Structure 1
């Protein structure tokens, strides 16, 4: 099975004075603004790192739900947050970490098995794998 999902970005102007919008196939984001100030200066709007953080937190939580089910467990409640770190390195900026934080209520789970199952979900959720994946690029210059 293959499922394709899409997102898009548009940009006009230079790095600091330019403005962009982000859209998703589902319409959850539709021409939502982003730019230098929203990414680096705390101005309201979005940025790529928070989108990665939300994707990682949601993917991990769903993966853990599946893994719990395979172990005969069902979560009453799981809340996951992710903090994605963007750092300036010698060769430019890089996302250097994604830190997941989970609080869960799972009837019948003991801490040792919970930690093992959570580690399995962290290692195997598709977004965790993406963050280690080979990235391909098709670039076309338009007139």
Structure 2
């Protein structure tokens, strides 16, 4: 399986602008720039997309892990917070903090946390990240 995305950039690093598109067209000419990355202007940025990918991957892995345990969640709600920090002359993604709130009938907190931790380890995006990954869980 191969998934594709494309970035087009015009101009300098600080003053230029770009667009991102995905093969599925979920993103199509979505703007990104220095301002969307470092100044919270409208548009997206690579770290936000990594956070979305990590949250989505982990949540799906957790759903499959719960299914394997004969459990069906009512809802899984995951936030991923990706940290970008200065690293010499550049930047490094140093951390992805996953936080999941879940409603899962028939499970206790300890069992849920064990399943969630295993799901995080099996998530392909977790495996791809060269960063610290933390996980906090709560049942509602």
Aligned partners of 1:60 and 1:99: how far apart in 2? Answer: 11
CA distance in 1, matches of 2:89, 2:41: 26
TM-score by length of 2: 0.90
Q: Shift of the alpha carbon at 1:27? A: 0.4
Task: Spell out the pairing of 1:1-143 with structure 2 (5 A cutoff).
Answer: 3-132=1-130
Shift of 1:91: 4.7
Work out the number of aligned pairs and report it: 131
Partners of 2:43 and 2:74 in 1: CA distance = 33
TM-score, normalising length from structure 1? 0.89
Q: Distance in 2 between matches of 1:20 and 1:125?
A: 29
Measured against aligned partners, the alpha-carbon deviations of 1:31-63 in whole angstroms (never above 9, x if no partner) come to: 111000000011101100000000000100000
TM-superposed CA distance for 1:12, in Å, is 1.0
Q: Which runs of 4+ in 1 moved over 2 A?
A: none
- Which of these two proteins has the greater Rg computed from alpha carbons? 1
